[in-house]
Structure 1
Amino acid sequence: MGRTIVYSLILSLILSLAAPAGAVFAMTDSPDETEGLVEIADAVEGVAAVSGDLAEPGGEISTEGGSDLDLQIDSPAPAEPVSQPEPIIDMPPETPVINESDSTNQVAAANGVVITELQTRGVAGATSELVELFNASDNEVDVTGWCIQRASATGLGFSNVTCFNPGDGLAATRLIMPAGSYAVLASDSLILANPGFNYDLRFSGGMADTGGRIRLVDARGGVVDLLGWGGASEYLGSRAAPAITSSQPVRSLHRVVNAGQYQNARDNYRDFILDIAGNSYQAGALYEVTDLCLNVAGIQSVIPEELWQIASGECVDKISINFCPSLMINEVAANTTRQYIELVNSSTVDLDVSGCRLMTNRSSSLSAELPDLVIEPGGFLVIYIDDTELKLTKSTSGTVYLLASDTVTELDQVFYEDLSTDTSWSRFGAEWKQTYSLTPLAQNQHAQYPPCGDGYWRNELTSRCNKIAPPTVLAACRDDQYRSEETGRCRNVTTSRQLTPCREGQYRSEETNRCRSIASAVSTLKPCADDQFRNPLTNRCKKIASSDDVALADCGEGRERNPQTNRCRNILSSAMPTAPFAPEKVAYTAEGLWGWWAFGGVSLLALGYAGWQWRFELGRAANGALRFFASRGKGGM
């Protein structure tokens, strides 16, 4: 019996040593389960040792007590570590399969768009943040509508940080990320602190260093990549990436590069390391492209030959149904004597319109089929309403529809209301206007006002019709008159004046047009004497003056001779003469000022008194003067 107990204790000890350290075992008595050992999560420090009876944890094995066995126990091999379950990622329902993978739980793929760097602070402060993305696939990716979202370490919901949207906001414009290219998303404070920094999108900072989550989602909300760091409760793989320290130099989380390629083990802790923030980034690779067929998978930069593009922007099969591509409603003349609808072929090729139809809101159960014909580029087709069963609303409101040959697909529609009489609702480029100029089968012309009646013209300044003035008939001028082009008046015709012929022995001077004696013109002047010369102005002889002929008298003291007039003049002294006494400064006193005020007041009183005494005389004098000047004025008129 004692030997049996010893064997049992030895077996228990072997099983204890073979289990991982800290594990506790229990036997099961359930008939439905296999008899054995069950691992319990609670850890127990030490290993139980046996010495006759169960020992305390940490005891030793002893053979004392009657055991004669030479027990040799080998150290057990370490147990395989228990793998942790992959965390559950908060993904929206019906998440699309990413990178053609069959796994609905895949969040990032090795050849997809992944997060390659995250910076939560910089030199400019805690909001100097940056997110870098990389397209690791071999194909360009349409990232239109994709967003970077963030959440706190343990928060429940994500919010958009920034989204990839085209500049024009049109559905047909797509934003493309080329294969092997980067996209740089920078916060406002980082951009302000680094003038000239190149980036693709900007956002407002707000991520924590100690922990948080960001994720990249596609246009339908499916998670493309996720990064949790620090104390984040959500991450990829075994655990979150390290917390981002705020020490200098600035550090950021970088995706590990392995053999020249970014590593993507779908494990944030293994895929990211904390290192010095980058100082060079490649931005500007994103570009926009127009998708001409929104309903066709992929981006159609050109319309496939087998498809039509209809007015809604969709592309449909051209074989089964005639969608009359590029056919548009161009003019609706509803409030006229004969109503009509004008269509135009806006393309540069011939257009077969057979089978397409027109419909109005007043005849929703009826439609008018277009004739079986081909419209040339830029050509027009007019459908008169009285030739169909359609009806157009005149003065209130209405809608005209252009349908494909299936009578269901709407190609174009035009709404109009409150049209004036004899006007049409016409297309002018991308805009519709009411015009008073009806132009069936011709280019539309905008006329803001109705035409003026006969004998009137439209004044562009007042927008009113003004009567055309009849032409003025001028009376004919006399035979001896002509009409001046400047004044329009008749003026006398001037005749050349006949001069009386000069007498014999005279000629007419060209300068004065007068008759002069020929003898006087050819007469010679008597020569001047030797001491004379002829004055060219008077043609007379004058005596030649000599400086020796006249002896000039001395001007005397204090005078000098003027070289120009040869006359004596006083010599001006540059020094002012001194007064024989010291001048006194004139002093202005208050008594003198009051004296002037008193004088002025007395004079004013005297004038007032004189005026009062002579008021009657002054009045009669003034009236007489007025009558005099009045009579003079009438006489002048």
Structure 2
Amino acid sequence: MFTRVMLIGLFAVSIILPMIPVEKVYAGTAQIVISEVQTGGFDDLLIEDSRLEFIELHNQTVEPIDITGWKVQYFGGTRTDVLDPLAVPTREIFSFSGLMDGSGYVVISYENYVSGADGYFGAGSTATSGLLARSGGHIRIVNAMGELVDLLAWGTAKVPETKAVAEIKAGYSAERHVNEMIEYTLTDTNNNFLDFTSTDVPTPQGGGLHQPLPEEEIPVEEPPVPPCDNVIITEILPNPDGTDTGNEFIEIYNPTTETIILSDCILKTSSSSKQYMFELNAQLDPKEYRALYDGTTGLTLANAAGGEVLLLGTTADYSTQYPTDLAANHSWSLIDNRWQISAQPTPGVLNVLPIEIPETGGDEEIELDPCEPGKYRSPDTNRCRNVQVFTAGLTPCGIGQVRSPETNRCRNITNLVASLVPCRADQERSADTNRCRNVLGTTTQTPCQEGYERNAETNRCRKSTNNASASPSVGSLTKDAPESRLNYIFLIVTSIAVLGYGGYEYRRDLSNTFTRIKTNIAARRAVK
């Protein structure tokens, strides 16, 4: 009796157990499912060909899903580790890249089987059979993180969703039922046997896989060039003809094709601590040369000593050192990317070297064409130059100046002794400086005090060297008084220190002595 009950129980379990769903580690709700699979078919000559295979997927949602990195994997029918996300599949069938359309289908097939498929597998294989066993096997989908998305088992497969689909015969496919309750979706009860049906008319559908459109490249605006960083210094004239003031200049140049803002630029020289800051919104046009005169900048340029000119920008500085003792009207110019001395200053325009007059090798003189009206010939370059002032109404030259017939500029007269103011009776005029200076020995001097004598060279009183043995004067006593005071102070401090140290050493004896004296005084007062 017991044996009969056991047999009936085992029979019941064998019927009910396949109906219990297999627990799957799905990545949430199955948004993408396997919708149709074919494991073999017949060619045009009705010859069976196991390479006529395809796998179709369906997006159960209406939104596109990025399936980049998702994989279709095949496990043999005898495998039992299909649900293990770390299990190595029997074959890697396909790896996706792109977006799957909402409610769309994607199909992959053996090479050259389904025309227009979204992908192909088995490329380059020389095998005469396909990759999916007709008698039984597993196909699973895993996402980019390796999580199980969907599973289909057929034939002799060991790990189906609840119950496997029957063997997929040649020319047939296992196709998932349409969900009549929800539009554009397929049935998914986690039971392969109930969700799929066998059909002899395979209908692979695809075209739902698209590569995402490339992100629109946002043009990166080039950061504006900081002011002055591309501006260079091209010419310096520290020693112009005639008066320096108002005629010295520093030339700057913009070598770029863009306008440069000069608002934050600073120009300075080594001659002083002064700085010149350009006006607000000042700019330098492309390829523009600009001469900045000292009357505008307030900057002076040393002549004999030479110096340095600096153009300070926000992130970069430009500087150049010009040589000492530049001749009059000779500039320090940047010509052909090389600094050199030029006898032809060219403020505000491209720097060029002066034309050299060829030597004839003899005493033959070269006759030059006369200059045009309003111009004169420079003795340095032999070129015609404009006379800067060529009008009748000239401003009279100042005192001590004369007008140059060549340049029409006022120049200082170095020796105009006749027009100088006479010196005082106790003064004489220096031949070197043309200035009045005191004559030694002509003024009434205060006698030196006792113990001092007058120095013949400096005419000042100094301590007499002949009175060393004489009695000290009041001045010498006064001078030695600080040293005597220091000696007394040192003696007093030393005495206090000695007394303090003695008091500390004999403090107990002194305390006892004062106590006895105090006791005696108190006793005497008591007797009285």
* Shorter-normalised TM range: 0.3 to 0.5
Return the structure number with greater relative CO, CA threshold 8 A, min gap 6: 2
- The TM-score, its normalising length taken from structure 2, stands at 0.35
